[in-house]
Chains A and B, each alone.
Chain A
Amino acid sequence: MPLLSLEHISSYYGEARALADVSLEVEDGEIVAVIGSNGAGKTTMLRTISGLMHPRSGRIYFQGEAIERTRPHQLIRRGIAHIPEGRRLFAQMTVRENLLMGAYGAQSWKERGQLIDEVCALFPRLRERIGQLAGTLSGGERQMLATARALMARPRLLMLDEPSLGLAPKIVETILAIIRDVNRRGVAVLLVEQNAQLALKTAARAYLLESGAVVKSGLTAEFLADESVRRSYLGI
């Protein structure tokens, strides 16, 4: 049984259809990429999974349970962490407070303290800036904080929406390395990226979205040296 599965999901913004009959699976411990040009529906898909919007039809299963009508604040407890497009950090809170929010569902302040220690071991830069306001961090540090915040929730599935956006290539490499590391510890990853090359380098399997529909899916090796991705992004 896959960890996450979408079955024939269709989502709308008013009358405009943003997702058309999308089906997708993520197995335990996998890294799956979803690529597609701007406006393809990638962000809508993640927002539908994490409950920020409800699909008009179709079902979503996480660990066997249907979650398409579940409210977002309940999903993090079940193990789905969503790092939204643009990071959406709490800019007027400190690094420490942002991390605490990641562990909002934890049982005790002691546990939250332990989690902060664990997560700062992965991101030493954050330890240095622990008292700083999140809004004053650099782009790379912000992505690190957003990732760390998600990890504070001990997710089983980590969903990232365009982590490379606005970041220098070197920093993107660091973030991806950390994601690979986290994945090796058993966290499945759903990586949504406009940057196809980056996504295909990192994931084992991929889906190509175009105008809200899945037009290609399979192992990443099948995507490389295939005209279909270029054609999808550039039209011909």
Chain B
Amino acid sequence: MDRRPLLTIDGVQKNFGGLVVLDGVSFEAYSDETLCLIGPNGAGKTTLFNIIAGALPPSAGCIRLDGHDITRLKPHVRCRMGIARTFQIPQPFAALSVLENVEVALEFGRRGGRGSDVVQARALLERARLTRWMHALAAELPLGARKRLELVRALATEPRVILLDEVMGGLSPEEVDEVAAIVHGLKAENVGVIFVEHVLRAVMSIADRIIVLHGGRLIADAAPAEVSRDPAVIEAYLGGALDAAAQP
């Protein structure tokens, strides 16, 4: 079967003044896989993420969703087309309840503008194990629950691909597992997932494919096991192979 890419990142370049942050990055994302974008500090992964999400324009190159060029589209338009994103520091509508937060997302974010539906909102909350927080104010939630709410608000827009921005940061192992479970469920529904992450231990078991950025360039694009043995990746992260020969 001819598998068409859901999202195509083609030759993306980003310069800030004289500084080249992304240097011709290209790859494809499919709806049936979980893709993770990693790289040491300063590699450009957050910049790339923001370009895909529409928060930043690239200096060159293009982004295509199902073949349509979306490079110049604003974030809210991308949302209507099916690209949802979360934010690193979750900022729910603090004065609204958890349920109301989800209802807002259902009301305004869905394609076709179908309006909100309490039944659907509750179903989403249950999926994220947030039911017991349903009527609590979003401001009262602990970090793990807040991140799951962030995820649920994005899911409420019925995306075709969801972009997760360092969603694992600061979570306990149990909370990481909870998020992982939600992501697994998405794969079954043919929603593409693209993660940007620092916490590699968490994503290595969730990701189907890993893209490694270093110095603005793509240095690896493979399954987790291969990537973790790739000498270029090891050098990028550890500075070099660790062996007895390295002693002065």
Contacts and interface: CB of A to CB of B under 8 A. Distances in A.
Given A39-B199, A194-B41, A16 B170 contact: yes
B237 interface: yes
Contact of A201 (B201, B227, B237, B248): B248
Contacts of B202: 235
A230 interface: yes
B239 A37 contact: no
B169 A230 contact: no
A169 to B, nearest CB: 9
A197 to B, nearest CB: 4
B238 interface: yes
A200 interface: yes
B200 to A, nearest CB: 3
A232 B202 CA distance: 11
B247 A230 contact: no
A195 interface: yes
A222 to B, nearest CB: 11
Interface residues on A, range: 20 to 34
Interface residues on B, range: 20 to 34
Nearest to B235: A197
B179 to A, nearest CB: 15
B238 A229 contact: yes
Interface in B99-148: 142-143
Given A198-B239, A230-B234, A230-B238, A211 B246 contact: no
B24 interface: no
Interface in A174-231: 193-198, 200-202, 210-211, 221, 223-226, 229-230
B203 interface: yes
Nearest to A196: B238
A197 B238 contact: yes
Contacts of A196: 238-239, 242
A229 B142 CA distance: 32
Contacts of A226: 242
B242 A225 contact: yes
Most chain A Cβ neighbours within 10 Å, of B200, B238, B243, B248: B238
Contacts of A235: 200-204, 224, 228
A140 to B, nearest CB: 17
Contact of B239 (A16, A195, A224): A195
A166 B40 CA distance: 12
B150 to A, nearest CB: 14
A197 B242 contact: yes
Contacts of B42: 166
B247 A224 contact: yes
Given A38-B41, A39-B198, A230-B234, A197 B228 contact: no
30 contacts: A16-B143, A16-B169, A38-B40, A38-B198, A39-B169, A39-B198, A165-B41, A166-B42, A194-B40, A196-B238, A196-B242, A197-B239, A200-B242, A201-B246, A201-B247, A201-B248, A223-B242, A224-B244, A224-B246, A226-B242, A230-B234, A234-B228, A234-B234, A234-B237, A235-B200, A235-B201, A235-B203, A235-B228, A236-B204, A236-B205
Task: List 8 tightest A-B contacts by C-beta distance, closest first.
Answer: A235-B200, A195-B239, A235-B204, A16-B170, A197-B239, A197-B240, A234-B228, A39-B198
Interface of B: 40-42, 142-143, 169-170, 198-205, 224-225, 227-228, 233-234, 237-244, 246-248
Given A211-B199, A235-B202, 8 more contacts: A16-B170, A39-B199, A196-B238, A196-B239, A200-B242, A200-B246, A223-B242, A235-B201
